[in-house]
């Protein structure tokens, strides 16, 4: 369930970002009078709502077409923003039910715990120790010696999302993650 919601959320976040970039591009390229009237310096959501409420009227000028295009993109952004918020709520509920101790840890976000739950759900029988988890996440040391020097470096392989999640700041690092697999 976590994987399904996380995939939908990631897709919505990417689409929302693309919509904002497109909206800003349209604003920059809008006719000067329209651009000046929309440049109010208020918060992002307030500005997007203002643009979503534009009334383009008849398509007889570049200003009308710019308003229509910006209105459509702003409405898409608002819809995606609402979708992301709903998915965040569902994910937080799922993650809090499955790993409440990790959610209460300082510096650990819902998405970090969700990534780790997805990783553990894929391979619960493989994670029997901290070393196994470190290898799966790509944070285990590997030899990088040459000649007279003996040194180690971090493995760059493994699950990249889990690697980022495992590197998230926490005082109780992998012990809590191991409990996820139990």
| Arithmetic mean of pLDDT, 36-42 | 72
pLDDT in the model for residue 52: 93
- H/E stretch holding 142 reads strand 141-143
| pLDDT higher than 70, residue 35 | yes
pLDDT of residue 117: 83
pLDDT band at 171 (very low <50, low <70, confident <90, very high): very low
Q: Which whole number is the average pLDDT over 79-100?
A: 93
Asked if 77 and 16 touch (Cβ cutoff 8 Å), the reply is yes
As a whole number of angstroms, the distance between CA 150 and CA 110 comes to 39
Calculate the average pLDDT of the chain.
82
- Rounded Cα distance, 117 and 128, in Å: 15
Average pLDDT over residues 25-45: 81
Residue 110 pLDDT exceeds 80: yes
Q: How confident is the model at residue 23 (pLDDT cuts 50, 70, 90)?
A: very high
Whether 74 and 52 have beta carbons less than 8 Å apart is answered as: yes
pLDDT at 157: 75
List, for residues 112-144, the tens digit of each pLDDT value: 888 888 877 766 676 777 777 777 777 788 888
Smallest CA-to-CA distance from 14 within 74, 83, 71 is with 83
Q: Is the pLDDT of residue 90 over 90?
A: yes
Q: Band the pLDDT of 179: cuts 50, 70, 90.
A: very low
């Amino acid at each position: 369930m976590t994987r399904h919601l996380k995939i939908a959320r990631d897709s919505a976040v990417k689409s929302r970002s693309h919509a904002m970039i497109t909206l800003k591009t349209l604003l920059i390229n809008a006719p000067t009078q329209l651009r000046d009237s929309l440049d109010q310096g208020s918060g992002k959501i307030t500005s997007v709502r203002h643009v979503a409420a534009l009334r383009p009227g008849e398509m007889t000028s570049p200003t009308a077409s710019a308003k229509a295009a910006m209105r459509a993109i702003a409405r898409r952004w608002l819809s995606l923003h609402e979708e992301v918020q709903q998915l965040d709520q569902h994910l937080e509920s799922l993650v809090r039910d499955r790993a409440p101790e990790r959610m209460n840890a300082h510096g650990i976000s819902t998405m970090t715990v969700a990534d780790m739950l997805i990783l553990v759900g894929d391979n619960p029988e493989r994670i029997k120790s901290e070393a196994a988890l470190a290898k799966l996440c790509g944070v285990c040391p590997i030899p990088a010696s040459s000649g007279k020097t003996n040194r180690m470096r971090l493995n760059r392989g493994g699950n990249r999302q889990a690697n980022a999640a495992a590197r998230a700041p926490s005082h109780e690092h992998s012990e809590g993650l191991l409990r996820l697999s139990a």
